[in-house]
Structure 1
Amino acid sequence: MRQGYLLPFYMIGYGVIRCFVEGLRTDSLYLMPGVRVSQGLSGCLILLGVLLVGIIRRRKDIQA
């Protein structure tokens, strides 16, 4: 794997798995009807990971 991509891919993978697992739980805190707080946090992790991948790619394109 290329240098700098481990953290964003970990965040994306962890966010996807956690979102799925939290969807199976029955004792969750709801932010809105149908949206759990923990799933919202997982979604934020996924978006942040994708954003970091985009930033890393853009910086490497500028340097090249």
Structure 2
Amino acid sequence: MSLSKTVYTAERADVEADGKHVRILKRVEGPHAELRDNLPSHVARLSDEQARRLRDDLNEVLSN
């Protein structure tokens, strides 16, 4: 059984000239995580509109 867990975070990614974007990152936390190449890995880049829709979908799923 592993005590490690995957953690997802979001950060602003102002790298596009066509508007603001949000970057979704994934990293592993737990015992011995520092022994791995535990740099955050890029999962997705979302436009503000996509991020809002994802937030709304998550809120709907989690409220049920």
TM-score (norm 2): 0.32
In terms of fraction of residues, the more helix-rich structure is 1
**Higher relative contact order (Cα pairs below 8 Å, separated by 6+ residues):** 1
TM-score (norm 1): 0.32
